Amino acid sequence: MIDRQEPEMTDLATKPEADVEIDAELLAEAERQGSHRTPNRALNAALRVYVEIARAKRQAAGEALKKMADSGELDFSAFDEVSE
């Protein structure tokens, strides 16, 4: 479910004037936990971690799917029936 109060990412990318609200307490905690000297550094570090985790999840899923395909666990016969 999408929270319509939050700006869409496309809005943030294409409309620089879009308001971005950041939880001040969460930002302050991120600055303390990461020993960041500025809010900008804390945000960039948090985004970097988020992207790295998302990439690792996608890579692991791709590797698992490849392993399944290589071992014959995937049945592609349904695709053959559709094309006939």
Provide the domain limits for residue 52: 24-83
How many of the other CB atoms lie within 10 Å of CB of 46?
16
User: Against a cut of 0.85, is the pTM above it?
Assistant: no
Instruction: Please give the tally of structural domains in the chain.
Output: 1
**pLDDT tens per residue across span 9-42:** 556 566 666 677 899 999 999 999 999 999 999 9
pLDDT of residue 1: 47
- In this structure, is residue 37 part of a structural domain? yes
CA distance 12 to 21: 11
Residue 7 lies in a domain: no
pLDDT above 60: residue 2: no
Whether the per-residue pLDDT at 49 is higher than 50: the answer is: yes
Any domain includes 17: no
CA separation for the pair 54, 47 (Å, rounded): 10
Rounded distance between C-alpha atoms, residue 22 and residue 40, angstroms? 12
